[in-house]
Chains A and B, each alone.
Chain A
């Protein structure tokens, strides 16, 4: 597999709607039953004692601590940033989370609160969560967030255009947003809950990666179903194959609906068995969540003290 050849191949792909369509529809179909069964099988792996302890710490370091509510206030964001840096105030051995994810207008607050901590600030942009606006508005919002100091941008794709078959529009939006990002990392939210089929998830994954995504992310968290194991499996296969073809590594971020330590560990197993251990790092795999962090901390404390922990002893989100 030679990189220049592959790159050349992808150069032409987006030259017209028909070539892009031909490429995406030329991708092999996903065996839905097989993907579901494999994800379910990997979910039964038993991770205990020291391995579990390691998995919990890995998962904490991969969390994108998220608050995307209409009722978010600067105070809430600051509180969440404090928690991101020091998830368990009683235990300094707990690693900080990977990033804090907020709306663009609160980026400046988060940047100030996290200065010097190493925790990154991510911002959603491009008319999150629906993606229903003009390209000008979307890129302007992206620039705004980057100017405010966001190191990562979580954009949503235009699902309406994607489902209507207007792949080139989706492609161009991602390219334009990537350009607007400048130095910032771009995560592309596919909103798999609205894509209907695993074939579409695979197509959207490749489309985003060809267009320059640094990460592909399952969901906004506003649509049910949000992240599921089989969908993440399909996306992990896509980034693995993309690396083999182009030599460029892309990260994956399941988000929404991951609430328990058990769920998080299932995702880690899935990453290890699908994309490989190279992806088991916060640079390449993230968990978008809010309530998950408390459950991870409670499990961690249970392992440390031998008694079940209670939510009374952890901060409310």
Chain B
């Protein structure tokens, strides 16, 4: 019996529900912290980012128009699918080095729990940040949160899975769609997450994941006139300033990078959701 040929996985981008290679044809070597070769990942170009924004924009009406209940169900479905891939994620996280199997397993479990946590928020956030306002006139005056639109997410450089999901889930649960630039050093869990998303009833284009250099891609997303918000969690100080300046052109909502290291295991609060929500206030005449 001859030895089996190794079947190695091709890590590609995730745009509009499909897995294309980079338009530029470029790739880069992903290595462990000791420098061992792990895989080749696609190095996305600005044109991949442009295509991803088009896909995200196309997905926005359907996703933001879906009921909160439905979005919550789909997030919960992502958690279910992720749970089934636990072993693969543990293997990918430990291969990078620096983390034991036990710790990696805890991270994956926390990721699943995080998705379930955010799934529950889908139909409650409106009650928490919306309000019925008393006004001096014969009107019902109601404020309700609305999704901002297409959000660019520069994924955290720590927590290749938990940090990534903790950045994506709050953006999409409220009805935004997003273009994510994955952590450059540890991109493989991000692409495996894309495989999870692709099989979770999540409409194509709601989440688009690019691997490559944030320093190269982020400014294009920050300057893009069809992107409505940008989460700079994973950007270094210099890149964050550049991006925020570019984002000012069309008044994007900007979530600045955290001041210090983030404990992704801690309960996140609703700040990441409200960062990409807008408030719509409706005046409705009473008694007409």
Contact = CB atoms under 8 A, between A and B. Distances in A.
Classify the interface of chain A: helix, strand, loop or mixed: loop
Contact of A310 (B220, B226, B246): B226
Contact of A311 (B223, B226, B227, B250): B226
Nearest to A310: B226
Interface in A163-220: none
B224 interface: yes
A195 B250 CA distance: 48
B23 to A, nearest CB: 12
Interface string A278-311: 0000000000000000000000000000111111
A308 B226 CA distance: 8
A310 B249 CA distance: 12
A307 B223 contact: yes
A306 B224 CA distance: 10
Contacts of B57: 311
Interface in A226-257: none
A312 interface: yes
Of the candidates A306, A308, A309, the one having the most CB atoms from chain B within 10 angstroms of its own CB is A308
Interface residues of B, number: 12
B91 interface: no
Interface in B178-237: 220, 223-227
B246 A307 contact: yes
B272 interface: no
Contacts, number: 26
Contacts of A306: 223
B78 interface: no
A304 B57 CA distance: 23
B50 interface: yes
Contacts of B50: 308
Contacts of A310: 224-227, 250
A89 to B, nearest CB: 16
Contacts of A309: 225-226
Nearest to B222: A307
B53 interface: yes
Interface in B240-254: 246, 249-250
Contacts of B249: 307
Interface in B84-141: none
Contacts of B223: 306-308
Nearest to B49: A308
B220 A308 contact: yes
A313 B250 CA distance: 10
Contacts of A308: 50, 53, 220, 223-226
B48 to A, nearest CB: 12
A313 B228 CA distance: 13
A308 B45 CA distance: 14
Contacts of B53: 308
A312 B224 contact: no
A316 to B, nearest CB: 14
Interface of A: 306-313
18 contacts: A307-B220, A307-B224, A307-B225, A307-B246, A307-B249, A308-B50, A308-B53, A308-B220, A308-B224, A308-B225, A308-B226, A309-B226, A310-B224, A310-B225, A310-B226, A310-B250, A311-B57, A312-B226
